[in-house]
Amino acid sequence: MAEVLVAALYKFVPLPDFAEMRAPLRAVCEATGSRGTLLLAAEGINGTIAGSPEGVATVLTWLRSDPRLADLEHKESWADSLPFASMKVRLKKEIVTLKRPGVDPRDLVGTYVDPADWNALIQRPDVVLIDTRNDYETELGTFEGAVDPGTASFSELPDWLEAQDLDRSTPVAMFCTGGIRCEKATAYLLQQGFQEVFHLRGGILKYLEETPEEDSLWRNECYVFDQRVTVDHKLARGRYVFCVDCGRGVPRDEVQAHAGRCRHCRPTPSADG
C-alpha cells in the first residue's frame, strides 16, 4: 500500500445532535477506506483516522462542511501501512474523560504556547512542567525536566494535582500528545484558583513537527494510540512494539531477548539465578 496519512483531530464545540452524526460520519469514513477511531459527544469530537491522503482529505472536508467544525484543526504524520484494523465511531459522555463535571475548555482554558516559544517557557526556573499523559506513555518519552504524575488514566490526574498542594501562584505548564487533555487539565487548574497555567498548542505532535531536532527538549519517542506504538522526532514509526502480555511499549530490539515482554511483565529472576 502507498504511504498512509494519519490525521489526529479534536474540537470542543456543542454537538447536541452528536448521536445522529455517527452513521453518516462512519459511512464517509468507510467509503474512503479510512480507518481509526473517532469519538463523538455533546462537547465535541476527538480521534485519529488513517488512510490514503485523498481519503483522509475527503473525511476532513466532510467534517468541516458542518459550520460548527469549519475551523477543525488536525495534525498529520505518516505510516507505511494502515495503523488501525478497523473504523470505529463511538458515542461518549466526554471526548476525553476527566470525570469532573463543569470543566469546560470553552469557558475557561490555559494560555496556549506555540511550539516555537515552548522551550523558553519550560526552561524558566519558576515553571512547574507537568506531563498530563498516562504512565505507559511517559515511560517511552517526555520533555526534559517534566514531572510524571504516574497516573494510569487521565481521570486520575485531578486527584494527583490536589495531592501536590502547589501554591496557586506557581506557574504551571502542561502538555499531552495532541493537545486535548491539556484543554481540560488547564481548565481544571484555573477552576482551582491557579493564576498562571500554560499548555503546548497542538501538543507533542505539533512540537515534533515544527521544532528542529537539534533544538528539541523532547527526549526519546512519543506514544501514539495505534499500531505504530510510537513515533520518533521525524514523526516516523518508532522503535517500540506492544508487549505481548500487557500491551505496553517495549523496544523492538528487546523483543527476542525478553520474549516480547516489557519490563513490567518479565519473569522475576530466581534468587539462585
Other CB atoms within a 10 A radius of the CB of residue 153 amount to 11
HSE toward the beta carbon, residue 20, CA cutoff 13 A: 3
Decide: 231 and 221 in contact? Cβ < 8 Å: yes
Q: Where are the alpha helices (DSSP H) in 157-240?
A: 157-164, 180-191, 203-210
DSSP secondary structure code for residue 151 in this structure: -
Tell me the angle at which helices 203-210 and 115-122 cross, rounded to the nearest 10 degrees.
100
Decide: 250 and 262 in contact? Cβ < 8 Å: yes
Other CB atoms within a 10 A radius of the CB of residue 238 amount to 23
**Which stretches of the chain are assigned E, i.e. beta strand?**
4-12, 35-41, 44-51, 74-79, 87-91, 111-113, 128-131, 141-143, 172-175, 197-200, 218-220, 222-223, 230-231, 240-242, 249-251
Which of 29, 176, 182, 262 does the annotation list as catalytic?
176
Mark whether 176 is an active-site residue.
yes
3-class DSSP state of 88: strand
Residues belonging to the active site:
176
